[in-house]
Chains A and B, each alone.
Chain A
Amino acid sequence: MNALLHQILSGLATGGIYASVALALVMIYQATHLVNFAQGELAMFSTYIAWALIEAGVPYWGAFALTVVFAFVLGVVIERVIVRPVEDAPILAIVIVFIALLVIFNSMAGWIFTYTIKPFPSPFPTEPLFGNSYLSSHELGSMGITLVVLLLLFVFFRFTPLGLAMRAAAQNPVSSRLVGIRVGWMLALGWGLAAAIGAIAGMMVAPVVFLEPNMMGGILLYAFAGALLGGIDSPGGAVIGGFIVGVLENVVGAYVGTELKLTVALVLIVGVLVVRPSGMFGQVHVNRV
């Protein structure tokens, strides 16, 4: 029983990471109906930037903040410069552009920072809080940061005019233009926020899995699974889905063996897509002829 609780709590910690990346994916999906295959590599690359800043002597939280800003700007620039020109192109072209971004960022990280695995510091103490045996301080801290980020986003979207404008632009770009919203820039902002969230997720995960260019591959897959499970057009659903996937991964991994984790994600993804594509909380879309 103890062990199961441990697995569940650990799963919630990693689930927080999946929930963040899943949220980033859903934010872009809601606005564009596109899945950003490059989300993981952007997060990984941002984490390398943080690493470089820390290596250069910048204190952790300073590097953290700078990295978040860097990621935000990077996201905005990518949307305006690379994604916008193809936004009306056939879906195959857009998918290919995303895959190209994935490949470019993966290789740039390898080129600039080499493929050797690097340790990444955690801002949290090494001793577990109150000496508890369930969660390390890092796991607890990660969860805390994830929850803070999610809360901030919720408040932003629900209660600020800009957040309202972004929601409107994602749901109904035509009507949004008719109230004067610059839809293009709302999209760019969405990409910026998504990239920033990804960077935070990357920095939380790197101390555990170590920093190397392929670090986010499996995580991206889990984030996809979580987003689909919760509902690819439901931010709340994506978050819940991410946590569920995290717990599932740990529990299944403990009892079935850890080597098939990615296969579990694959089965989840295909399963959800085939059985209930709108996920638990998403909207069922009827394709009109």
Chain B
Amino acid sequence: MNAALLDVRGLHARYGPTRVLHGIDFAVAEAGITTILGANGAGKTTALRAVCNMIKNEGEVRLGGARIDGRPTEAIVRLGVAHVPDGRGTFMNLSVEENLRLGAHTRRDRAGVAADCERMYEHFPRLKERHRQQAGTLSGGEQQMLAVSRALMLRPRLLLLDEPSFGLAPRIVQHLFEILRTIQASERIGMLLVEQNAALALKLADHAYLLETGRVVMSGPSEVIRSDESIRRSYLGY
């Protein structure tokens, strides 16, 4: 793999006294898409939260070569890491447009922000229709699009996505993943995708890690994992 955008070594994480991650290693290549797969409770969401230092963790986390572990979440974000959390993290009482503007909170270029806002509306016309509406009144699919757009407003180097397909109709998921692929190609953003829907994730990603009860049990290029039937059967259930 070429020089990693995100390089994680020996990551331990816990919620209170309960250890969830037991020293895992993973990486995202510059402009690459990596996916972390696994069943419920394997620790996938925890891994994303640990990268952003939202929970207690130990280990080495490097962004573009520099250590970011231990720094406050908002500082990590300011270095260009955008996180679309599970549950979407929508600002329910604020309007769609306000949610987008918040995504660009750390940016100073007003014109650029306005242009990016328009670009998001082009990707997701439903958001444009509802841009003055309270975000909490949006459907699940629309909120997911809003969450992804909000994250992209940061113009991040690295995009973390926590189960973006969760609870969404297949058509919407397909649309979403198409947009992700387009954006990744044009903006050269690195993406770390956590998904339960392994088939979907493996189609998008170039590299994959399999997590089981807090440990990496398998990793490799996604075509390899996709084509290996025994791995698919035993770990991914299809």
Contact = CB atoms under 8 A, between A and B. Distances in A.
A75 B72 CA distance: 24
B91 A168 contact: yes
Contact of B54 (A161, A168, A172, A174): A174
Contact of A179 (B92, B93, B102): B102
B55 to A, nearest CB: 11
Is the interface on chain A under 10, 10 to 19, 20 to 34, or 35 or more residues? 10 to 19
A179 B90 contact: no
B91 A183 contact: no
A168 B154 contact: no
Contact of A178 (B89, B92, B93, B94): B89
Interface string B56-100: 000000000000000011100110001101000111111000100
Dominant secondary structure at the B interface: loop
Interface in A178-213: 178-183
Interface in A127-186: 161, 164-165, 167-168, 171-172, 174-183
Contact of A181 (B74, B82, B89, B150): B74
Could you say which interface size class chain B belongs to? 20 to 34
Nearest to B89: A175
B106 interface: yes
B74 A180 contact: yes
A107 to B, nearest CB: 37
Given A178-B52, A179-B103, A180-B78, A167 B94 contact: yes
Contacts of B92: 171-172
B54 A179 contact: no
B74 A172 contact: no
B181 interface: no
B105 interface: yes
B101 interface: yes
A1 to B, nearest CB: 43
B95 to A, nearest CB: 10
Contacts of A165: 102, 105
A90 to B, nearest CB: 16
A238 to B, nearest CB: 16
A177 B102 contact: no
Nearest to A182: B74
B234 to A, nearest CB: 35
Contacts of A179: 77, 102-103, 105-106, 150, 154
A54 B89 CA distance: 50
B94 A183 contact: no
Interface in A241-271: none
A177 B73 contact: yes
A165 B218 CA distance: 41
A177 B77 contact: yes
B106 A180 contact: yes
Q: Which of A168, A174, A175, A183 has the most CB of B within 10 A?
A: A175
Given A161-B101, A161-B105, A168 B74 contact: no
B90 A175 contact: yes
A181 B91 contact: no
5 contacts: A161-B101, A164-B98, A165-B102, A175-B90, A180-B78
3 A-B pairs with least C-beta separation: A175-B89, A180-B106, A180-B77
Interface of B: 52, 54, 72-74, 77-78, 82-83, 85, 89-94, 98, 101-103, 105-106, 150, 154
Given A161-B101, A164-B102, A175-B89, 9 more contacts: A171-B92, A174-B85, A174-B89, A178-B52, A178-B73, A178-B83, A178-B85, A179-B103, A181-B102
